[in-house]
A and B are shown apart, each in its own frame.
Chain A
Amino acid sequence: MTQRNRLSHTQSASQSRRQPSTSAAQEEDDDTIFTQPSSTQVQKGLEKLTAAEVERKVAEVVQYFLVKDQKKVPVRRAELVKNVVKEYRNVYPEIIKRTARTLDQVFGLKLVEIDSKNHMYILVNNLEPADGASPINSPTSPKMGLLFVILSVVFMKGGVVRENLIWNTLKKLRVDPGEKHEEFGDVKRLVTDEFVRQRYLEYARIPHTEPIEHEFRWGQRADAEVSKAKILEFLGQLFEQEPQSWSQQYKEAHSSQASSSSQR
């Protein structure tokens, strides 16, 4: 959470605030259309609807989430209400509650609100991951490996890293942001645009830099999905060291595990 505040402070200090605030303004507009109904309103609303109608709407919302999650872009509450919930918005809290329950009990997925201000949701796997590599031979996207490298470096370097360090690290791995990579294509776009939109990374401008430089941080989805402890474990294997030897990071990995509810 402290990283979040730091980000907003640096941004307010400089003129780079422009872009985030316009998207925030749009969120405000959409949200003024939709305000969360109170529990009494929800009760009243539920009385007017049959159980079957509500269940069907819940099913639609579940399906919407499942399909939207294919691209891993977060779902905004405003678009959910506008496109799916529509006239059932007065019972929205109940619908969301049941959706979360269905996703959990039927699919083993957790509905996480990654941004309580802008009301964005993502789906996270609620099941315990298998130890080591997954026994199922499903094709994994190589992008995950790239993301892992970036997240590891950012984490091990204290949570913020200047972009040059990341580009140099990737270059050593034969991934050059200036060239087209045969697996990843336009690497720069993948890292600074796609991963950022998916909320795996944050790519913020460093103020007063000439030429403009940016820094990377973990995104909200990474906070919810990625286990720092497991990263340390893997790094320990790679470096043939004990994970505890990185005392600072170890402490952070295991304290965040206790506090954040997603990392059980």
Chain B
Amino acid sequence: MKRARSGGDEDAPRQNGSAGRRTEDQHPGDAEGEGSDFGPADLQNNENDPSLRREIRSKYRELISSVQQNREDMLSPSNNKLTEVLEEANQLFKDVRQAREAALDAQLLVMATDLGKEKAGQLFSEGTAFDPAAFTEHLLSFMGINRLEEGDEEQQNGSTFGGYLPQDAWHRLSRRAECCFRTAPSFHYMMGSFHAEPPPPKQRIERQRKALTTEAKRTVPTQLKKMETSHQEATEKEVERILGCLKRYYEDDPASPISYFEFVIDPKSFARTVENIFHTSFLIRDDLARLYLNDEKLPCIAHVEEGEVEAEGSGRRKQCIMSLCEETWKEIIDAFDIQESMIPPPEVDDE
């Protein structure tokens, strides 16, 4: 970039522009004196000459760009380049007549003042200067850097020059730096929040139960004094008993159908009624009995001979759910005037 030296590169434009009038301007020493020698005629010529205007503007732009490009250079406290730029601008300003040029001048001045502010900032710290590079060295030592024997290869190796930082380097620094901060400790629930997972204890309980049952089975009685009827067997016995009842009624009077309700309901016990329905359902499932609706749309139950089943085929199969509550049970007893159950209650074993 062109150095904006006063009087330095003025030779070039001088050749393009109106050389005569401009020569006087560019000598810094003579500037003030020459300026006052301008007659009104000269001033008018300056104002109207577009090439002169353009020249001035281009000079300003050069100055501005040179300031931008050489910012670092100008900031250095070792030279006076900034002052030189300002003096240069001062000279140019003498020729400024129009707003456009003045605007450029103003822009240059703003930049120069910003630079000036920065330079002034550099003058800070009268006491011992603070060197960030030394700071980083001390920090690295504090963080526990592991300086290896430096061969030439290490130096050339870009990233890990001069040693390795341990894993907890930054943690170490943070702990020490913490006391400089009065940070409010962050709010956290002490026990954390809940996890949406199935709780583990359930499995343990299951295992415990299994362990217990296996042990229980081991204590088998050596002598069976009484045959304990398991639930399964009891049901089957009941079902067979009811089948027996049904057969008997059927044989007594094969023509008249047996009302389902009259058959299962025990007017003395709701529980027994439910049990009867339960056992009857096994009969129906096993095709030993069948349910049908008679002419009055009331359910009836009838015994089925084995032979009949095969003839009917599988298309006839239907399912239904019987539900009965105590009120309904009472209503049916009243409606059908059931006095006693058709299925006698089972003989009570010594329970």
Listed in ascending order, the chain A residues whose CB lies under 8 Å from chain B are 10, 13, 66-67, 69-70, 72, 109, 122-126, 129-134, 138-149, 152-153, 156-158, 160, 165, 168-169, 172-174, 183, 206-210, 224-227, 230-231, 234-235, 238-239, 241, 245-250, 262-263
**B178 partner residues in chain A, CB cutoff 8 A:** 129, 133-134, 140, 144
Question: Chain A: which residue is nearest B138 at the CB level?
Answer: A238
Residues on B close to A: CB < 8 A?
Answer: 68, 71, 110-111, 114, 121, 124-128, 130, 132-140, 142, 159, 165, 170-188
Residues of B with C-beta under 8 A to A145: 170-174, 177
8 more CB-based (< 8 A) A-B contacts, given A125-B185, A140-B178, A241-B128: A70-B188, A206-B114, A245-B128, A246-B127, A247-B128, A248-B124, A249-B130, A263-B182
A264 to chain B, nearest CB (A): 10
Assess whether B181 is in contact with A144, with CB atoms less than 8 Å apart: yes
In the assembled complex, which residues on chain B have CB atoms less than 8 Å from the CB atom of A226? 180-182
A contact residues around B179 at 8 Å (CB): 129-134, 230
Residue of B nearest to A184 (CB): B170
Distance from B83 Cβ to chain A, minimum over Cβ atoms (Å): 19
> Shortest distance in angstroms between A209's beta carbon and chain B's nearest beta carbon?
8
Min CB–CB distance A12 → chain B (angstroms): 12
A248 touches B125 (CB 8 A): yes
Closest to B186 in A: A70
Supposing A130-B179, A134-B175, A234-B176 touch, asked if A247 and B127 sit within 8 A by C-beta, the answer is yes
Residue of A nearest to B142 (CB): A238
Which partner residue on chain A sits nearest B126 by CB separation?
A248
Task: Provide the bound-state CA to CA distance between A142 and B175, in Å.
Answer: 8
Contact, CB under 8 Å: A208 / B140: no
A140 nearest in chain B by CB position: B174
Question: Which residues in B have their C-beta under 8 angstroms from that of A208?
Answer: 68, 110-111, 114
CB distance from B55 to the nearest CB of A (A): 24
CA distance A87 to B85 in the complex (A): 63
How far, in angstroms, from A121 to B132 measured CA to CA in the complex?
A: 33
Centre residue among B139, B142, B172 by max chain A CB count within 10 A: B139
For A142, what are the chain B residues with a Cβ–Cβ distance below 8 Å? 170-171, 173-174
What's the dominant secondary structure at chain B's contact region?
helix
Contact assessment for A124 and B133 in the assembled complex, using a CB-CB cutoff below 8 Å: no
The 5 A-B residue pairs with the shortest CB-CB distance, nearest first, are A247-B127, A145-B173, A142-B170, A148-B177, A145-B174
User: What is the minimal beta-carbon distance from A112 to any residue of chain B, in angstroms?
Assistant: 10
Query: Could you tell me the distance in whole angstroms from the C-beta of A114 to the nearest C-beta in chain B?
Result: 13
Instruction: List 17 A-B pairs, Cβ < 8 Å.
Output: A10-B114, A125-B185, A129-B182, A140-B171, A148-B173, A156-B125, A168-B132, A172-B133, A208-B68, A208-B114, A225-B182, A238-B135, A238-B138, A238-B142, A245-B128, A246-B128, A249-B127
Contacts of A124 in B (CB 8 A): 182-184
Give the chain A neighbours of B114 by CB distance below 8 A.
10, 206-208
Residues of chain A within 8 A (CB-CB) of B140 are 172-173
Name the residue on A nearest B165 (C-beta). A174
Q: Which of A141, A143, A158, A234 has a CB less than 8 Å from the CB of B124?
A: A158
- Cross-chain contact of B110 among A13, A126, A144, A157 (Cβ < 8 A): A13
Which A residues are CB-close (under 8 A) to B186?
A: 69-70, 72
How far is A109 from B185 in the complex, measured between Cα atoms in Å?
9
In the complex the two chains form, what is the Cα distance from A262 to B178 in whole Å?
Answer: 17
Given known contacts A70-B186, A134-B175, A225-B182, is B127 in contact with A157 (CB within 8 Å)? no
Tell me which residues across on chain A come within 8 A of B142, comparing CB atoms: 238
Which one of A13, A153, A231, A247 lies within 8 Å of B180 (CB-CB)? A231
CA distance A247 to B127 in the complex (A): 5
Residues of B within 8 A of A169 (CB): 132-133, 135-136
Whether the pair A172, B130 counts as a contact (CB closer than 8 A) is: no
Q: Please state if B130 and A157 are interface contacts (CB–CB under 8 Å).
A: yes
Contacts of B132 in A (CB 8 A): 153, 157, 165, 168-169
Bound together, the chains give a CA A264 to CA B172 distance in angstroms of: 26
Q: Is the CB of A140 within 8 A of B128?
A: no
Measured in the bound complex, the distance between the Cα atoms of B131 and A238 in whole Å is 13
Residues of B within 8 A of A126 (CB): 182
Q: How far is the CA of A245 from the CA of B125 in the complex (A)?
A: 11
**A156 and B127 contact, CB distance less than 8 A:** no
CB–CB B126/A109 < 8 A: no
- Contacts A124-B183, A157-B124, A246-B130; A238 near B139 (Cβ below 8 A): yes
Q: A109, B184: Cβ atoms under 8 Å?
A: yes
The answer to whether A158 touches B125, judged by C-beta atoms less than 8 angstroms apart, is yes
Residues in B with CB closer than 8 Å to A245 are 127-128
Instruction: Let me know if B130 and A173 touch, CB within 8 A.
Output: no
Query: A179's closest neighbor in chain B, by CB?
Result: B159
**A210, B182: Cα distance in complex, Å:** 38
Q: Closest CB-CB distance, A67 to chain B, in whole Å?
A: 6
Q: Which residue of A lies closest to B68 (CB)?
A: A210
The chain B residue with its CB closest to the CB of A6 is: B117
Q: Which of B139, B170, B188 has the most CB of A within 10 A?
A: B170
A125 near B182 with CB under 8 A, answer yes
Nearest to A153 among chain B residues (CB) is: B132
Residues of A within 8 A of B111 (CB): 208
Complex interface: chain A residues within 8 A of B187 (CB): 66-67, 69-70
Complex: chain A residue closest to B136, CB-CB = A172
Chain A residues within an 8 Å CB radius of B134: 239
CB distance from B71 to the nearest CB of A (A): 8
User: In this complex, what residue of A is CB-closest to B180?
Assistant: A230
A130 and B179 CA atoms in complex are apart in Å by 7
Residues of A within 8 A of B126 (CB): 247-248
